[in-house]
Amino acid sequence: MRQRLATVALRTSAGVWRTITRSRRSIPSLLNRLTAGFYMKDEAFAVGMEGACGPGPVQSEADAARTQHGSGARRTKDGAMGGPARVSVFRIQGGRPLSGEVSVKGSKNAALAILSGVILAEEPVTLTNLPLVSDIETKLRLLEQLGASVERAGDRVTIDASRLSRTDPDPDTVRSIRTSFYILGPMLARLGEARLPQPGGCKIGARPVDFHLKGLSILGAKIELVGGQYEATSKKLKGGEIYLDFPSAGATQHLMTAACLAEGQTVIQNAAMEPEVVHLADFLNRLGARVEGAGTSTVTISGVRRLGGGEFRIPADRMQAGTYLLAAVATGGEVTVRDILPEYQAPVMSKLKEAGVSVEHGPDWIKVLGNRFATAVSIKTMPYPGFPTDIQQPMAAVLATANGVSTVEETIYESRIGHIGELNRMGAKVRLEGRTSVITGVDHLEGTVVEATDLRAGAALVIAGLGARGETIVKSVHHIDRGYEGFEQALCSLGAKIERIPSGEWESVSR
Ligand code: EPU
């Protein structure tokens, strides 16, 4: 069948018009990606929302050249999409109560794990509701580097990994996200060898990979660190008994995936029980794997000879859901968060209620009702089903104006604290005692210039800015782009005044 083509004229951020011809179906996805901040043919385009929420991610060429994510601007195989997130800031006018409804997109962390699992599939896999965030772009690029073909149509992506040709993806791509490392096991299962550098990711702690390495060696892999790169080989992987010293989400997912094609049975004890582990198991089973017990502390994988293809919808992102709920609370707003599984928000809902916030929920929604924190609360992060570490920073932003003294103890990562100094710049009173943030509630926060140091710190600062008096500038938005699709658009739809502007443009105005 002949493809129907369409030609669109787009203005680059340097003001030059370019015409682009693509299949009609792919145009909406193209515009989405450009709005989300990706390059096309190494150029930034002036595509974005107009009106109340500002001009969107228009960016100067100079900004485009100053990339911060990975090793710089890169093209995908066909030279079309895929650059690093660009240098932008969010400008927020605070103090406007959010109201309305917001729908939650697909889970970044579930999708990242599932994209490692795709390497096992000998037939095409279609993922729907795939979040259009930069970490996912990076992971897709990695699959392309291995020889997989990737066809995108908005949030529906078809990946054919039936013919993989490379075992040494570009080290810079691998280093730019933590979960790149989780392709090691599936690569060994499919290709018998892999060469990967140590992984990157948000700077929130040491984040070693020792559980991964120990587990893979139990399955029969030979792994050596040579000049900063892991060189791994294996004959056919063999099932084994793995005990994790800590219920690591990543290690559980990685080893579970590696074991799918191993000979015999693998049992992972003290496994992580995170919903993203369950989503991965559901995906793998859809392709023909035999994974049982995901969501409990013992996961059993009975090896099969091959995995086929299939279609899978990425479930909603629980961190995004929690972030929107907290943004609503910070502004004293009334917001319904839809298309989610409320049971995953149990710790967040429970703490909100304890603090005096009215919370209602139905089968697939949660609503917080127009009141700010009445009382301070104490929080301790724990593996699922405990309070999620990823929501600790956004929660701290809200507790900054609670009545009394709150404590937030971070037990998972030793340095997930990038938000603290920045909140204090906005007038918060947060001090760190060991791994505990002691937060003395203040009457209000004042807008100022702050910098996102990592993904969730960035979300926390946006929340703080939405609740603060006056204007807040959040710098280094590329961290936020790693995990929140259409963040400012969603917040704007709830009545927030937030716009994305190129940092160069903001700096020249602020001088
Ligand atoms: N750990 C080790 N050795 C290992 C693996 C982990 O010591 O081999 C430690 C880590 O250093 C950390 C703890 O175990 O102290 C838990 O780490 P885990 O492996 O569970 O985390 P992860 O898989 O690297 C995922 C999410 C994180 C989320 C954590 C905890 C992805 C891509 N990342 O990381 O999400 O905070 O689980 O739930 O799935 C985020 O989205 O902002 C983010 C950082």
Name residue 435's amino acid.
Answer: R
Q: Phi-psi region for residue 424, left (φ > 0), alpha (ψ -120 to 50) or beta?
A: alpha
State if residue 250 touches ligand 1 by the CB under 6 angstroms criterion. Answer: yes
Atom of ligand 1 nearest to the CA of 207: 11
CATH match of 90-105+316-498 with 3.65.10.10: yes
Contact 438, 410 (CB under 8 A): no
Whole-number Å distance, alpha carbon 18 to ligand 1 midpoint, is 42
Cβ of residue 251 lying under 6 Å from some atom of ligand 1: yes
248 Cβ closer than 6 Å to some ligand 1 atom:
yes
**Under a CB-based contact definition with an 8 Å cutoff, are residues 309 and 287 in contact?**
yes
Note if the bond before 394 is cis, omega within 30 degrees. Answer: no
Give the Å distance between the CA of 113 and the centre of ligand 1. Answer: 12
Which ligand 1 atom is at minimum distance from the Cα of 249?
20
Q: Residue 47: which residues within 8 A CB-CB, separation 6 or more?
A: 10, 31, 34, 35, 56, 57
Q: How remote is the CA of residue 248 from the centroid of ligand 1, in Å?
A: 6
Q: Is the CB of 109 under 6 A from ligand 1?
A: yes
Mutate to test the pocket of ligand 1, among 105, 107, 109, 181 (most ligand atoms within 8 A of CB): 109
The per-residue pLDDT for 176 is: 86
- Please state, in angstroms and rounded to a whole number, the distance separating the CA atoms of residues 446 and 64: 31
Residue spans of beta strands (DSSP E) within 329-453: 334-338, 358-361, 365-369, 378-380, 405-409, 429-433, 436-440, 449-451
The string of DSSP codes covering 250-280 is HHHHHHHHHHTTSBSEEEEES----HHHHHH
Task: Please give the distance, rounded to the nearest whole angstrom, from the Cα atom of residue 423 to the centre of ligand 1.
Answer: 24
CA distances from 295 to 46, 298, 299, 467 (A): 44, 8, 8, 36
**Ligand 1 near 463 CB (within 6 A):** no
Residue 208 backbone dihedrals phi, psi, to 5 degrees: -70, 175
CB of residue 259 inside a 6 A radius of ligand 1:
no
pLDDT given for residue 81 in this prediction: 32
CB 500 within 8 A of CB 63: no
Selection from 340, 321, 314, 327 nearest residue 131 by Cα: 314
Ligand 1 pocket test: pick from 412, 435, 481 the residue with the most ligand atoms within 8 Å of its Cβ: 412
Ligand 1 atom 32 nearest Cα: 109
Nearest atom, ligand 1, residue 214 CA? 8
From atom 5 of ligand 1, which residue's Cα is the shortest distance away? 209
Amino acid at 150: V
Return the CATH number of the domain spanning residue range 108-313. Answer: 3.65.10.10
Cα(15) to ligand 1 centroid in Å equals 42
Contact 252, 228 (CB under 8 A): no
Residue 208 is predicted with a pLDDT of 87
CA geometry: angle at 140 spanning 111 and 498, to 5°? 70
State which ligand 1 atom lies nearest to the alpha carbon of 413.
Answer: 15
**pTM (2 decimals)?**
0.85
Residue with tokens 């710098």: 475
**CA gap 509, 441 in Å, rounded:** 33
Instruction: Report phi then psi at 359, rounded to 5.
Output: -130, 130
- Predicted pLDDT at 506: 72
Domains 90-105+316-498 and 108-313 are alike in CATH topology: yes
Residue pair 498/489 in contact by the 8 Å Cβ criterion: no
**What one-character DSSP code corresponds to residue 26?**
G
| Interatomic CA distance for residues 198 and 38, integer angstroms | 25
Q: Whose CA is nearest to atom 11 of ligand 1?
A: 207
Rg from Cα positions in the chain: 22
| Sequence-distant (≥ 6) Cβ neighbours of residue 460 within 8 angstroms | 393, 394, 396, 397, 419, 423
- Ligand 1 centroid to 388 CA: how many Å? 11
Q: Residue 410 C-alpha to ligand 1 middle, in angstroms?
A: 13
Nearest C-alpha neighbor of 394 from the set 320, 339, 447, 468: 320
**pLDDT value, residue 486:** 92
What is the C-alpha separation between 377 and 180, in angstroms, rounded?
37
Please identify every residue annotated as catalytic. 202
Between CA 39 and CA 10 the distance in angstroms is 12
pLDDT at 8: 67
Reference 479, options 86, 110, 104, 31; nearest CA is 86
N-to-C CA span, the chain: 56
Ligand 1: nearest atom to the Cα of 209: 8
H or E stretch including 127? Answer: strand 125-128
Closest residue by CA, ligand 1 atom 16 = 248
Coil vs helix vs strand at 74: coil
What tens-digit pLDDT sequence spans the chain (511 residues)? Answer: 456 666 666 655 444 556 676 766 666 556 655 554 444 544 555 454 322 343 333 232 222 322 333 333 332 333 233 333 457 899 999 999 999 999 999 999 999 999 999 999 999 999 999 999 999 999 999 999 999 999 999 999 999 999 998 999 999 899 888 889 999 999 999 999 999 998 766 676 667 899 999 999 999 999 999 988 999 999 899 999 999 999 999 999 999 999 999 999 999 999 999 999 999 999 999 999 999 999 999 999 999 999 999 999 999 999 999 999 999 999 999 999 999 999 999 999 999 999 999 999 999 999 999 676 678 999 999 999 999 999 999 999 999 999 999 999 999 998 888 899 999 999 999 999 999 999 999 999 999 999 999 999 999 999 999 999 999 999 999 999 999 999 999 999 999 999 999 877 777 666 5
Whole-number pLDDT of residue 501: 92
**Which residues are bridge partners to 365 per DSSP?**
338
Nearest CA-CA partner of 481 in 10, 90, 79: 90
**SS3 call for 315:** coil
Report the C-alpha gap between 84 and 65 in whole angstroms. Answer: 10
Domain range summary for the chain, segments of one domain joined by +: 5-86, 90-105+316-498, 108-313
Task: Note the pLDDT of residue 504.
Answer: 72
CA–CA gap between residue 329 and residue 249 (Å, rounded): 29
